Structure 1
């Protein structure tokens, strides 16, 4: 049993919980941050669903990205840290500054605390949104880790926040890291088995389809299984080759939403009878987006090629992700098994 403690921020998050499962299975002790200790029972229950009874190998600290309190305590005594906590403004918080300020400041809070506590390496959960959006027509595909999203293009606030907060993290390491190491993992659309009702945005797309959403958007995306995202975090944490590197977490070629719908119909039969294989016309989506904040963020992605490659992680770290179809099917299977679909 390893005695090293790993800090995982944002313990209620989908990717964070799979990172905790990977770490606990590998023998590490885990400390995680939550905004309220009332969520501890839920997190432990999700880990049980994932096959791990954490017991005293898991501890909790209250810390919020928008406040300094709790971060020094969180990082104290930790050998490594995985930072995936990210602000998710809701309700009337749709201005860019509601996303960007907390994301940038939050990353810097965690990095300062890690540096001051003598943490060896932080693995930052960034996003494809920091790599592959806003680019002009003609930009080469597939995207790789040398790309950064072009913020002069049409970029949604969340993706802008991910880009600026990751850039700020690399700048911090260069200027005042004092030996702290950094690696980033940039996942594309994350699928895989849900552990409970609080799952990823991508799995929400699957549940919407299974519940009878009327049609598919003309959008494509690469896919990855959350179990493989967690495995890549673990590899990026301990492999010397990962120091100072970014890694796209993606498996295979991108898929159009209509292809996802067809896969669900093919694999799940009657359970997927509500899945529509109609495609919404782009013009109809643009009109609807004028009064729908969620659709507004989708408009720049209509017919936009989001092909990306995970070759670097496979070559440098020996990462071997599941086929994307397996990740999508696992999402749907878990939603059905856990009773998470509305009739």
Structure 2
């Protein structure tokens, strides 16, 4: 580990991607200032065994930012930072259904205003050299193509330069609203970068479905409150409508955020993170990895996900970041390793009661 004088300001550090990225930052030797919504979240982060094992001491500090949609939200918190990683943005998970009247305040406002506030704050600080922003493959791929209702030519592969057209609500589903919020956040960021004079560059990361150990989870239920809910819901017998067969390991996403800080990585561009998967293949992998869970009927093999595939060009990603992305088997092992450990610790009985809810989405 190389100790760095650089100070990285990170948002979303209590979430799925953010908590893992925080660990990777500290492991790489960076000084880190994490934005949290309350002092209680500080205590929660510091209580994590993985954080304690790194003994960050003064290398890890915090800034309380209760509402990222308020103008100037990050202005004080980002002072003296040399880099910023902006991850904070709501994602649907665990089968939750956000009512249509809440789509804008729940998804749009945090996604768009949070991103703009980060860019404004980085500019005001005058010390920031690079901002890394977590977007989504959904900002590049139209929802109709993702759901398979509108075919895409195999020759027209999605690249980091693709852009999805903005749509106005009401949206037909929670996932549709989420996808539209990522489109809006990317559009707002690029408009700001084009029109405002600034002294830093930006790297956008576009991950697919992120799977793997959830560092912020302490219970089996919490382990499902992220994109792992699709995989675990499948193994619990869920029947799911169309889902894009494109996924990435949480460790690869976190590592990419850290590697994106390297000035040798070209700035002012985007990178897609992920690879094609067939979701139902996870059942066979899980049977091989943890047969006892199927024998006990904790997991079942009659779940299903309608997988849609789109051509995606990720040729530049592994070359730029210098590492090979993990496969679906590694993702499944990471998810199940944590979930089964937590289940055993809880002494839980039954497969899904109170954990997932409606798995028919």
- TM-score by structure 1 length? 0.83
Give 1:150 deviation, angstroms. 4.1
CA contact (8 A) 2:245 2:277 kept: yes
1:16-165 mapped onto 2 (5 Å cutoff): 16-46=18-48, 48=50, 51-63=53-65, 64-68=67-71, 70-87=73-90, 93-95=99-101, 96-98=103-105, 99-118=107-126, 119-134=128-143, 135=145, 136-140=150-154, 142-151=157-166, 156-165=176-185
Specify whether residues 47 and 111 from structure 1 end up closer, same or farther in structure 2 by C-alpha distance, changes over 3 A only.
farther
Partner of residue 282, structure 2: 260
**Higher-helix-fraction structure:** 1
Deviates more, 1:231-240 or 1:215-224: 215-224
Displacement after TM superposition at 1:51 (Å): 4.5
Is structure 2 residue 205 aligned with structure 1 residue 182? no
Aligned to 1:230: 254
Deviation at 1:218, TM superposition (A): 5.2
Distance 1:322 1:304, change over 3 A: closer
Residue 129 of structure 1 aligns to a residue whose secondary structure is helix
Q: Does 1:276 align with 2:300?
A: yes
Report the secondary structure of 2:33's partner residue. Answer: strand
**1:162 Cα offset (Å):** 0.5
Q: Which secondary structure does the structure 2 equivalent of 1:24 belong to?
A: helix
Distance 1:159 1:67 in 2: 22
Per the TM alignment, residue 70 of structure 1 is displaced from its structure 2 partner at its CA by 4.7
So what's the TM-score if we normalise by structure 2? 0.79
Unaligned runs of 5+ in 2: 350-361
CA contact (8 A) 2:45 2:51 kept: no
Q: Retained in 1: the 8 A contact 2:11–2:85? A: yes
Q: 2: distance between equivalents of 1:303 and 1:18?
A: 27
Contact 2:20 2:214 in 1 (8 A): no
Aligned residues of 2:209 and 2:246 also touching (Cα < 8 A): yes
- 2:187 maps to which residue? 167
Q: 1:253 to 1:38 in 2, by over 3 A?
A: same
Bigger CA drift: 51-60 or 117-126?
51-60
Question: 1:192-216: CA deviations, max 9, x gaps?
Answer: 2222244562212233344x33445
Per the alignment, do residues 223 and 46 of structure 1 end up closer, same or farther by CA in structure 2, a change over 3 Å counting? farther
Q: Is the 8 A contact 1:254 1:308 kept in 2?
A: no
Q: 1:177 to 1:271 in 2, by over 3 A?
A: farther
2:359 paired residue number? none
Rounded to whole Å, the distance in 2 between the matches of 1:310 and 1:76 is 35
Note closer, same or farther for the CA distance 1:78–1:271 as it changes in structure 2 (3 Å cut): same
Change (3 A) 1:260 1:317: same
Q: Over residues 18-67 of structure 1, what are the superposed CA-to-partner deviations in whole Å (9 max), with x where a residue is unaligned? A: 11111111111100111111111221233626952322211111112122
Q: Secondary structure of the equivalent of 1:6?
A: strand
Q: Equivalent residue for 1:304?
A: 308
* Distance in 1, Cα, partners of 2:333 & 2:4: 34
- CA distance change for structure 1 residues 321 and 189 in 2, over 3 Å: closer, same or farther? same
What is the CA distance between 1:319 and its match in structure 2? Answer: 3.3
CA distance in 1, matches of 2:212, 2:307: 25
Name the CA distance, whole Å, in 1 between partners of 2:90 and 2:244.
Answer: 25
Equivalent pairs counted in the alignment come to 320
Q: Distance in 2 between matches of 1:46 and 1:165?
A: 31
- Say what the alpha-carbon RMSD is for the aligned residues: 2.7
Within a 5 Å distance, the mapping from 1:286-301 to structure 2 comes to none
Asked whether 1:239 is paired with 2:239, we answer no
CA distance in 1, matches of 2:54, 2:21: 12
